[in-house]
Amino acid sequence: MTVYLYRHTVIIRGCLLLLVAIFSGCSFLSPGPESAREAYWESLEEAGLAKTQLGLDWQEAGHEALASAVNTLPPVHERLWIEAGEIRAVAYQFQLQAGESVIAEVQSKDWKLAYLSQSSDGQPKAKARQTSGRLFLDIYRNDRGQWIPAGSFPKSSPWQADHAGSYLFLLQPELSRQGRFDIRIEVLPALKFPVSGKGPAAIQSFFGAPRDGGRRVHHGVDIFAQRGTPVLAAVSGPVTRTGDTPRGGLHVWQRGDHGRRLYYAHLDDILVTSGDFVKAGQIIGTVGNTGNARWTPPHLHFGVYQRFSGPTDPLPLLSGNTLRSPGAMPDELTSSRWQVNASKLYLRQGPSTRDRILLPLSRGQVLVSQAAAGSWIRVNTQAGDSGYVHGDYLSPLSVANPLL
């Protein structure tokens, strides 16, 4: 009987969806472009260019970039060259927390970021901020192994991730455009740092550390500061509870975005009451050592509790990625093909020796350059691996086009 009812429920739901599609003109089957790049592709289809070899190559370049995305850590600051007649796209893959904001900036006299706007007839279209060549920077989110469009970078404000997970940022110029451009991608933390004048370096006790001889673990981070230092709301949201307990001492609970509850403990003073709506950065109390912290130096215990999953590590939500300069960018690269000239060299995930080693490279190995990040070069191996190596350990094999 259960199976019989379930089958009929599925059939009824399917019929309802079909009726909705019929009476709404099947809009949910053709939702329209979700990004500036998709809107541009529709304009190529309308102009009859999508089925030409040039149009097909342009679309394929985007698909290839998604399949071979650079799995790197933000921030990104690279210089890329697009040569005449070249059809190219590049994609960067990041892990983002829900609530993290991403800022993208293109610096070039040849390129302007395109964004999605409405035409006079109400239809979405790709628009550039000036009449220069358009560069599309689209966002994709991994949904159960599939990359689905999540939008384009907005005209002004940063773009914010609604879900934690893996994201791709696809860059591609419009057809028949060439030039040089610098791309910067920076990730801002999901939460404002909750102690005034401090940053992640002030955290001296971390999530998961043993407590009470190993009988429990630390469900937060401890941020050390002088007694009386202002404690700031990490997000905008209502204060749900304040109080004083033997373990947490004077404390404040606040409800945040994305199903999070925030816990500020061991306070010296509480400056808000239950029911207050506070804005991110507003003072809600001061650093102290009340509760079971009375024998320790003053600090804020800061905890984050996720709906359905409980305590979660606050550090990834607080750190973000501040943009560090990679150094002076070269005007051009003298070659597109390079040979390793060192006996010991590693392909790294980012343009510094602090970044994770991806694989070792051997002397004489041939690499193809894709972009420059200061004195580092992003390369592809012949096996298809992508990463960064320092330019001092490479020798040019040709003096043809600066980049492929």
Any idea what the CATH number is for the domain that residue 95 is in?
2.60.120.380
Contacting residues for 118 by C-beta, under 8 A, at least 6 apart: 124, 125
C-beta separation of 194 from 231 below 8 A:
yes
Do 273 and 154 sit in the same domain of this protein?
no
| Residue 329 placed within a domain | no
According to DSSP, the β-strands at 179-188 and 76-82 are: antiparallel
Domain final position from 136, 164, 188: 188
Do 27 and 76 sit in the same domain of this protein?
no
C-beta separation of 96 from 160 below 8 A:
no
Do 247 and 347 sit in the same domain of this protein?
no
C-alpha–C-alpha distance, residues 273 and 290, integer Å: 18
Do 135 and 53 sit in the same domain of this protein?
yes
Do 360 and 389 sit in the same domain of this protein?
yes
Q: Note the pTM of the prediction, 2 decimals.
A: 0.68
Do 93 and 130 sit in the same domain of this protein?
yes
Domain final position from 150, 166, 188: 188
According to DSSP, the β-strands at 260-270 and 249-255 are: antiparallel
According to DSSP, the β-strands at 260-270 and 277-278 are: unpaired
C-beta separation of 154 from 114 below 8 A:
no
Do 52 and 11 sit in the same domain of this protein?
no
Structure tokens at 216: 């429990």
Domain range for 92: 32-188
Domain count, the chain: 4
Residue 71 buriedness (CB in 10 A; 0-12 / 13-18 / 19+) = middle
pLDDT of residue 320: 66
C-alpha–C-alpha distance, residues 124 and 103, integer Å: 23
Q: What is the DSSP letter of 321?
A: B
| Residue 150 placed within a domain | yes
Domain final position from 140, 156, 188: 188
Please provide the size of the chain in residues: 404
Q: How far is CA 362 from CA 257, 348, 367, 370, 394, in A?
A: 48, 14, 11, 19, 11
C-alpha–C-alpha distance, residues 279 and 299, integer Å: 22
pLDDT of residue 83: 73
Q: What is the CATH number of the domain that holds 385?
A: 2.30.30.40
Give me the tens of pLDDT residue by residue for the chain, a chain 404 residues long: 333 333 333 333 334 333 323 333 322 222 335 677 888 888 889 999 889 998 999 999 888 888 878 777 777 888 887 777 778 888 888 888 888 888 887 777 655 555 544 334 444 444 444 435 677 888 889 888 888 888 777 655 688 888 888 998 888 888 877 777 788 888 888 899 999 999 888 998 888 888 877 788 889 999 999 999 999 999 999 999 999 999 999 999 999 988 999 999 999 999 999 999 999 999 999 999 999 999 999 999 999 999 888 999 998 888 866 545 555 666 666 667 899 999 889 999 888 888 889 999 999 999 988 888 888 888 889 888 888 899 889 998 854 434 33
pLDDT of residue 366: 93
Do 27 and 100 sit in the same domain of this protein?
no
Secondary structure of residue 284 in the 3-state scheme: strand
Do 174 and 243 sit in the same domain of this protein?
no
| Residue 116 placed within a domain | yes
Judge if the upstream peptide bond of residue 75 is cis by omega within 30 degrees of 0: yes
Backbone angles phi, psi at 291, to 5 degrees: 75, -145
Q: What are the helix and strand counts (H, E) for the chain?
A: 4, 30
**Packed helices 53-67 and 36-46: angle between N→C axes, nearest 10 degrees:** 160
Contacting residues for 150 by C-beta, under 8 A, at least 6 apart: 34, 139, 140, 141, 167
Contacting residues for 155 by C-beta, under 8 A, at least 6 apart: 115, 117, 129
Query: Residues 32, 37, 40, CA angle at the centre, nearest 5°?
Result: 75
Secondary structure of residue 201 in the 3-state scheme: helix
| Residue 328 placed within a domain | no
C-beta separation of 131 from 114 below 8 A:
no
| Residue 327 placed within a domain | no
Do 129 and 247 sit in the same domain of this protein?
no
| Residue 322 placed within a domain | no
Do 44 and 24 sit in the same domain of this protein?
no
Do 174 and 145 sit in the same domain of this protein?
yes
113: closest CA among 62, 57, 171? 171
